[in-house]
Structure 1
Amino acid sequence: MILENIVKSYLQDVKLRHSNGTYKFYKSHLGHFVNYAKKNGIEEISDVKDQFIVDYIASMKETCENVTINKNVGCLKRMFIQQQIEFPYLHSIGKLKERNKTFDTLDRETFMRLRKYIRTIPTVTTNGIYYRCFLALLADTGARIQEIMFIEKKNVKLERSEILLTYTKTKEDRIVYLSDKVGIPAVKKMMQVKSDHKYLLHNSDKNRQATYDDIRYILKRVKKELGLKKLHPHMFRHTTATTLVEAGADIASVMSILGHKNIKTTERYLHVSHKHVKDTYQKKINKLDN
């Protein structure tokens, strides 16, 4: 059996069963494996032996972090299982130790300033309404950017401050929430814009659904106006999780809001800020000296 054909077959299955983002993830990692095999004269799956896998992992160590290698090997394992190809050695490989990675978040003061900025975005034009709503959803819901772009108007329940997400990474519906001063006013304005589009976020000027280019443009403007060095969509998700935890939210609630199936995934997002840790320390320790 030709290795490249097996990979194509598996990717077709991934494309049918999973989100576009997941498909791109597998395509990237498995494509890397196929390219390495070709460079080393491997075309048949039967030629992929134990030593070849050892050499492949060793080659990745020269340029990749362990977390990337683990993802790559994980993709290979799942492909071999799905294609019903036995490879005991591959499945015996344990995960390499990963370095604890910190994620980009906004500190409390910056997040508060950003939320205040969102509330003051002029809504005299449809573009202003659109920009404000896009940012408000990012700041309030903790949802992934693609989940936000596919929110349908029929699933917005302003009277309950809720939005039902039906286009999710996990393929499972979930509910996210809106705040009284940021989310509710912005979404309400967007709902009032006359349009035949079924999606909440639509670019009226260009008569189309929201795109990644739109949010890149919006965030570029926000960075300039607020003097921020870095701001990308997933920072909102990380910051929402951190803010909830620092405010005392239990991890089960945060897990539900973020749409995680595994609690360990949620724990990676809980970056308690240095300031919060320091404040907690000083409050507790200083009590001893009173």
Structure 2
Amino acid sequence: MTGRNWEQEFSNYLSTERNYSEHTNINYLHDIQDFHQFMVEEAIAQFADVAYADVRLYLTYLRKKEFARTTVARKISSLRSFYAFLLREGVMTENPFASVSHTKKQLRLPKFFYSQEMEALFGVVYDNNDPLTLRDRALLEILYATGIRVSECAGILLPDIDQTYQAILIRGKGNKERYVPFGAFALDAVNDYTIGSRDVLMEHHQKEHNYLLVNHYGDPLTPRGIRYCLSKVIEKAALTRKIHPHMLRHTFATDLLNNGADMRTVQELLGHASLSSTQIYTHVTKEHLKDTYMKHHPRA
């Protein structure tokens, strides 16, 4: 293995062949670097020298450091992928992480907004028609209507919106594209925002670009900016429990399933590569059904 930077080659592979985002790439490399530090402490010279017994020792090492189960699972997954790459390149004859069983991830149900909470949020963005409120109205309507991620929302361009068919071209993880429909409320909010807010801000600050969502300077709204705008809306709505903007995506999926949408359709709309990622929402809907039953059945 000497003479070649396998970590860098793996990083290039993730970027070019797997189309992974820079953020995901950095997380993979961070996990590999942590493992390399463990190798140094255990006097393991190079990646090719790692055996299954070393992997079991590494699991013990992680548990002693009291990492969360989800963190341990992610690190093992990263290293399994890295060694699969080394196996493909002929560096290894077997993947020492292939058969490792690690602590199962704790099932954490997605949190979502209840109907009265959604009403409170929409009440905030419909209280006046100043440019930034129009922007926040369009933002909230789009996220709830489509269930897209905040990062995907930031990337929407004006030509991506098909008003005739009421669908938006979304560029998701791994540069995968999908069309997501949206309803009349979102359509009206986008049109009101474009005319009464975006055009005004762009002209005032002499900016030219195709990004749909802009800040008060007319520059494209970043994912961080979107989270800030949503946090302010949530704050104005005076909701009492601890909430996060990503809950809009969970609410979108939960509301669809509660109203009879099939799992495959929700999977496609959310842009999940695997159905297992979408199935977590069935647990939420079951809890919703149980709560409704216990509150309303006379002999519950």
SS in 1 for 2:180: strand
SS in 1 for 2:62: helix
Q: Deviation of residue 163 (structure 1)?
A: 0.8
Aligned to 1:173: 177
* Structure 2: segments with no counterpart, 5+ residues: 203-207
Q: Deviation of residue 281 (structure 1)?
A: 5.5
More displaced stretch, 241-250 vs 186-195: 186-195
- Given that 2:122 and 2:137 are in contact with CA atoms closer than 8 Å, whether structure 1 keeps it comes out as no
Distance 2:117 2:33 in 1: 40
Distance 1:224 1:61 in 2: 38
Q: Deviation of residue 282 (structure 1)?
A: 6.2
Q: Does 1:113 align with 2:120?
A: yes
Aligned to 2:150: 145
Q: Deviations over 1:84-128 (max 9, x none)?
A: 32334321223532322122222232123323433x053322x33
- Given that 1:3 and 1:34 are in contact with CA atoms closer than 8 Å, whether structure 2 keeps it comes out as no
Q: Does 1:96 align with 2:107?
A: no
Q: Does 1:227 align with 2:238?
A: yes
Q: Does 1:122 align with 2:125?
A: no
* Structure 1: segments with no counterpart, 5+ residues: none
Distance 2:289 2:105 in 1: 25
Aligned to 1:259: 271
Q: State the one-letter code of the partner of 1:180.
A: A
Q: State the one-letter code of the partner of 2:78.
A: C
SS in 2 for 1:139: helix
1:86/1:65 CA distance change after superposition, 3 Å: farther
Q: Deviations over 1:211-240 (max 9, x none)?
A: 133123213322321223333232111111
Counterpart pick for 1:23 among 20, 25, 49:
25
Q: Does 1:209 align with 2:220?
A: yes
Distance 1:117 1:273 in 2: 31
More displaced stretch, 243-252 vs 30-39: 30-39
1:37/1:131 CA distance change after superposition, 3 Å: farther
Q: Does 1:272 align with 2:285?
A: yes
SS in 2 for 1:46: helix
Q: Deviation of residue 252 (structure 1)?
A: 1.4
Q: Within 5 Å, give how 1:48-63 maps onto structure 2.
A: 48-62=50-64, 63=66
Using the size of structure 2 for normalisation, the TM-score is: 0.83
- Given that 2:50 and 2:96 are in contact with CA atoms closer than 8 Å, whether structure 1 keeps it comes out as no
Aligned to 1:83: 86
Q: Deviations over 1:160-204 (max 9, x none)?
A: 221111x211432212222322x122211233333421111122x
Distance 1:4 1:66 in 2: 33
Q: Deviation of residue 275 (structure 1)?
A: 4.6
Q: Deviation of residue 248 (structure 1)?
A: 1.4
Q: State the one-letter code of the partner of 2:228.
A: Y
Distance 1:177 1:138 in 2: 11
Paired residues, what number? 282
Q: Deviation of residue 2 (structure 1)?
A: 5.7
Aligned to 2:205: none
More displaced stretch, 171-180 vs 232-241: 171-180
1:38/1:135 CA distance change after superposition, 3 Å: farther
How much is the aligned-residue C-alpha RMSD, in angstroms? 2.6
- Given that 1:223 and 1:230 are in contact with CA atoms closer than 8 Å, whether structure 2 keeps it comes out as no
Segments of 4+ moved more than 4 angstroms: none
Q: Deviation of residue 4 (structure 1)?
A: 9.5
Aligned to 1:246: 258
